[in-house]
A and B are shown apart, each in its own frame.
Chain A
Amino acid sequence: MTPAPYAQTPPAANTTLLEVHDLSVHYGYGAGATKAVQNVSFRLAHGEFVGLVGESGSGKSTLGFALTGLSKPPAHIEKGRILFGGKDIASLDAEQLREQRHGGIAMVLQSGMNALNPVRSIRNHFVDIFRAHGHVDRSRWTARATELIGKVELTPQVLDRFPGELSGGMRQRVSIALALSLEPELMVFDEPTTALDVLVQHAVMNTIIELQKSENFTAILISHDLGIVLESAQRVMVMHEGRIVEDAPARQILENPQADYTRMLLSHYADPRAEVVELPGFADRQQRKAEGASRTEAATHTPTVSPRTLRADQHAMIVENVSKIYPAPRRGEAPVRAVDNVSFTLEPGAALALVGASGSGKSTIAKLITAVEKPTSGRIRFGDLDVGSLNRRHFRRLHRDVQMVFQDPYSALNPLHTVEYALTRPVINFTGLHGTDARRRVLELLDIVGLNPVEEFAAKLPHQLSGGQRQRVVIARALASDPQVIIADEPVSMLDVSLRAGVLALLEDLREQWGVSLLYITHDLLSARVVTDNIMVLNGGAVVETGNTADVLRNPQDDYTIRLLDAIPNPRKVVA
């Protein structure tokens, strides 16, 4: 019944482990069904490491869930076969499916952070699995759990902790160890590192790659990030709109992509350390600068919309020796030094990148500049405003000039209000325009952010928009007050790769046309390279490196900057 544990079956090369034949997975039935996966066929040999790449909605996770027999209504296998070790997964009953999970197919979920039962200790998670399959003798439970937890580079103490006491990276490692405890022949990793911080992501990915070699399982890595996949997988399947559009060895995908879609995805990757960095819609920054000088002479752009030149003068945002210390989270612990003596000046019309891993203090700086938080020491000046000690009554003056674009466009808009409503509120609040004037301004804003036809977009509700369109609405909302400074906190990290360039180009355009200065907060060094002139690298609340973006990235001095750069998945690095 149960297949022999993988350790006893030497991976014979080219013997088929999994065969998917003409598989279609639908959500719902009949004409209204969403065809998430359509006529997918592929074959997996023992010991392969295959990447499954696609953007959101491509059906890659649906396929992953179908392979592991975890599809839940309304998703169902419409047709096709999934042959694993000669048996059709789709035709097994619940108990057979459950039994085959030992020594069969295991899955590590996307949100590994939430994949653990919050009220059960890690040890009990292991015990539950051992008990369910009876494959580990009771006397060896602790020994085996310790061994497994060691394989993912955690210490045995972790066994007695509860999930809430572990960091996101540790929790994802525990999930991997749990999946490993099934002694699976095939591991399906569904976006295993997406929710994690860059450096942690890199470390977890390395663990997965090493485990795949040492434990000899066959792996499918599902990811939206072609970079991560190309770095780890030998073979890549590219998925688009429910179909596999390309299935080829990693090197071939990289050097000679066949499908247009693959080419498009690849075009959005570049090494931020390269001499010339170009993305679709972005010529290299240095070259653009040179051209830009002649262009502005030739034609001073005459905007048809309310010109920001009405404002007499633009101010610099001056941050001087600012620190922010939060009280200790628990008694007996040291206070948290979120921002540690940081100084910088954001000149009018400049673009400055604030780069660092999570917890480096970059979002706290955004909160300080927008007066959401007050600095513990130091000064923040904007024109004649002392931002650090601003009282509530003067917030409006600051917020007219300093606006924020948030990371998550999916939760930044009230789902009950139309785009027009979302934009009309700040227009009325900040500019005093009413009625038809306000409406005209709203349509102008939509035009500026490139949502045409404007009338149509104004009437839409957030759920009718794509992620990229939503982020454009969020940017338009930030522009409503005609601000001098825009603080963009990871504005593209939640978006699909193909949508990122468009939003970045918009930010760039705003700066060039309207002179808005940009504080670009990110962990993504590539996007920092294309939209900013200067960069500040933060670690543990302090600035560790600063300078011209291209210079710093091409010639990093600080160890932390170097590690950040190394953590970037970059397909070309593998081949080079």
Chain B
Amino acid sequence: MTSTTAAPRGAESRPPTRPGPTDAAHAPSPIATSLGYVARKLGLFALTLWAAVTVNFLLPRLMPGTPADAALAKLAQNGPVSEATKAAIEAQLGVPTGNIFEQYLAYLHQVVTLDFGISYTFYPQSVGELVSAALPYTLVLVGLVTVVAFVLGTLLGVLAAWKRGTWLDSVPTLVGSFMSAFPYFWTALLLLFFAGYVLRLFPTSGAYGPTAEPNLSFEFFGDALYHGVLPALTILITSLGGWILGMRNTMISTLGDDYVTFAEANGLKPRTIALRYAARNAILPNLTSFGLALGGVVGGSILVEQVFGYPGIGYLLFNAVTNQDYPLMQALFLMITVSVLIANFLVDILYGVLDPRTRR
């Protein structure tokens, strides 16, 4: 037989588990939670940033040889290299002095002051100059287009899901998936050929005309805008479809959620239901993809910039890699990493604003 022994307990039982306001009343104030959330995310951002910067320092040092060795090896192919040449090259490229910690501190100082040395390829320009000249083009072209593609694709996706089964659904969905199936460079080549070469509507390369001088005048902006149309269109065409499909599919599933049915039962206006109930919840998972896309803006534009001869970060990176330009490469890799981190941080904050569940 089963024998059961009750544990010793106080005479009276626990208070009723009746629903009451207790747990809500004890929740911390919304402002305090928001601040705490931002502080947590900021801390995490700082930590990953430090880790990325440190890895960027360690990686080249884990590789065998130095940049000077590589340069010497190249020269040695054309005959023996004298000691004097070797000393000259080492002096030019710089040989690390001091132990690893001193090097690390010096490196950190350089990172903070954005001093990445002189580029090999574009000697005697400094890496800092090159990057700051290229960055605006990439940020404006790829960054802006990525944001536009996300906003436009999401809106079309919302419309497609809300008008499911009508032409507003089938046309964007079909065209979107068709266009996003094209490879980047193929779309670019087609645009170049038809819009640039055959119709001569747009210039086929560069960020501005050969006679233009980069400054803050309206003429220059107009010229830059004109040159940016084809590359921008390429990125828009290839990325729009993904946003449309992603938003449409998540929204169709939120449209089936109980809170949407309940909102309908309560007679809310269709617009309110579509935007504040269905779309508002459906956009959350897409924000993650948006963060990834934003992070890829700086590093992921190589193909487009190469095809259009566009003087952005991708173009620079391509040149740096083909010419073994170590200072430039290191600075660009660091920038790509940091931009991914910043994008993720921004999306985290955005998440916190949009989804109360993440704030806790």
Interface residues of chain A, those whose CB is within 8 Å of chain B, are: 68, 70, 94, 97-102, 106-107, 109, 111, 114-121, 128-129, 131-133, 153-155, 157-158, 160-162, 164-167, 169-170, 173, 175, 178-179, 181-182, 197, 199-200, 203-204, 321, 330, 340-347, 350-352, 357, 359, 533-534, 536, 539-540, 542-547, 558-560, 563
Contact = CB atoms under 8 A, between A and B. Distances in A.
**Nearest 5 Cβ contacts at the A-B interface:** A101-B267, A169-B19, A155-B21, A341-B7, A546-B4
B19 A182 contact: no
Contacts of A115: 258-259, 261-262
B354 A344 contact: no
B272 A128 contact: yes
Interface stretch (B106-114, B135-143, B276-284): B276-284
Contacts of B261: 70, 109, 115
Interface residues of B, number: 46
Given A118-B355, A118-B356, A120-B276, 11 more contacts: A70-B264, A109-B261, A115-B258, A119-B281, A119-B354, A120-B280, A131-B272, A173-B19, A344-B3, A543-B4, A543-B7
Contacts of A544: 6, 9, 13
A346 B2 CA distance: 5
Contacts of A132: 266-269, 272
A101 B262 contact: no
A339 to B, nearest CB: 10
Contacts of A101: 265-267
Interface in B1-28: 1-9, 12-14, 16-19, 21, 23-25, 27
B276 A99 contact: no
B4 A347 contact: no
A63 to B, nearest CB: 15
Nearest to A359: B17
Contacts of B257: 114
Given A120-B276, A128-B276, A563 B265 contact: no
A181 B268 CA distance: 12
A340 B7 contact: yes
A12 B77 CA distance: 107
A142 to B, nearest CB: 17
A107 B272 CA distance: 19
B9 A345 contact: no
A567 to B, nearest CB: 11
Contacts of A155: 21, 24-25
B262 A200 contact: no
Contact of A175 (B262, B267, B360): B262
A203 B355 CA distance: 31
B267 A546 contact: no
B222 interface: no
B28 to A, nearest CB: 9
Contact of B267 (A129, A162, A204, A359): A129
B268 A560 contact: no
Given A117-B277, A119-B355, A534 B2 contact: yes
Given A98-B267, A101-B267, A160 B277 contact: no
Contact of B21 (A154, A350, A534): A154
B263 interface: yes
B276 A117 contact: yes
A179 B9 CA distance: 43
29 contacts: A101-B266, A101-B267, A106-B266, A114-B257, A116-B259, A116-B262, A117-B259, A117-B280, A118-B259, A118-B281, A119-B355, A121-B356, A132-B266, A155-B24, A157-B25, A158-B24, A161-B24, A169-B18, A170-B19, A175-B262, A178-B262, A182-B267, A197-B17, A199-B16, A200-B18, A345-B3, A357-B17, A543-B7, A558-B13
Contacts of A199: 16-18
A109 B262 contact: yes
A128 B263 CA distance: 9
A551 B72 CA distance: 95
B74 interface: no
B214 interface: no
A155 to B, nearest CB: 4
A169 B3 CA distance: 36
Contacts of A154: 19, 21
B7 A109 contact: no
B268 A546 contact: no
Contacts of A340: 7
Given A128-B268, A543-B4, A546-B6, A166 B24 contact: yes
B30 interface: yes
Contacts of A97: 267
B18 A203 contact: yes
Nearest to B271: A132
A566 to B, nearest CB: 12
Nearest to A207: B19
A402 to B, nearest CB: 16
A178 B16 contact: no
A545 B6 contact: yes
Interface centre among A162, A164, A547 (most CB of B within 10 A): A162
Nearest to B13: A560
Given A117-B277, A118-B281, A543-B4, A157 B21 contact: yes
A68 B355 CA distance: 31
Contact of B2 (A70, A131, A344, A558): A344
A204 B284 CA distance: 33
Interface in B33-49: none
Interface in B228-278: 257-259, 261-270, 272, 276-277
A175 B14 CA distance: 28
Nearest to A537: B6
B254 to A, nearest CB: 10
Contacts of B265: 68, 70, 101, 106-107, 109, 179
Nearest to B284: A119
Contacts of A70: 261, 264-265
A175 B24 CA distance: 17
Contacts of B17: 197, 199-200, 357, 359
Contact of B7 (A100, A133, A542, A558): A542
